[in-house]
Amino acid sequence: MGEEPEKKRSEVMEALLLIGHGSRAEQANEGMFRIAGMIRKAGGFTIVECGFLQLCPPTIEDAVERCIAQGAERVLMVPYFLHTGIHIREDLPSVFVELKKRFPHVEMAMGTELGNDPLLAQVVMNRVEEMRNSPSKEQ
């Protein structure tokens, strides 16, 4: 009887963590930060962070720490990757296991990569329409 009731899922402070590969070229990483900003602005998450697997900061671990410092009790991680390569199959699961060991007091979940989502096919078709409707951009 002396135990506190568990919080309902809707009462737990959630953070969204976008996980990218990372690049030494800073401008290559900016796109994910822009997406994070769009998600934050759209609502649903007060805490939205980005972390990178390699080559640049912040690391995934640093990003999780930032989420926790902002009050996150649950961190939902979405790999911002298109394909199921070695990073998705091996590297991220390994990082995830280590994060759960390091932060046992925080609930964590890893989603799937962006992959073959039909919305991505629509993005490709949007780009095709942009090319058809704009002056030629030869490179």
Give me the sheet containing 14-20, strands edge to edge. Answer: 47-52, 14-20, 74-79, 107-110
pLDDT for 26 = 86
Residue 2 within a domain: no
Average pLDDT over residues 62-91: 96
CATH number at residue 123: 3.40.50.1400
Residue 138 within a domain: no
| 92, 59 Cβ separation under 8 angstroms | no
- Chain-centre distance of CA 15, in angstroms? 10
Other Cβ atoms within 10 Å of 14 Cβ, number: 19
Residue 59 is given by DSSP the state: B
pLDDT for 6 = 58
- The pTM for the full model equals 0.85
Supply the range of the domain harboring residue 108. Answer: 9-133
Domain count, the chain: 1
| 13, 74 Cβ separation under 8 angstroms | yes
DSSP H stretches of helix in 70-117: 86, 92-102
Residue 4 within a domain: no
Peptide bond into 118 cis (omega under 30): no
Residue 3 within a domain: no
21 included as an active-site residue: yes
Residue 56 within a domain: yes
Residue 31 within a domain: yes
Lowest-pLDDT range, 33-42, 86-95, 116-125, 129-138?
A: 129-138
Residue 16 within a domain: yes
Among the listed residues 21, 83, 87, 105, the single catalytic one is 21
Average pLDDT over residues 33-46: 93
Residue 29 or 44, more confident: 29
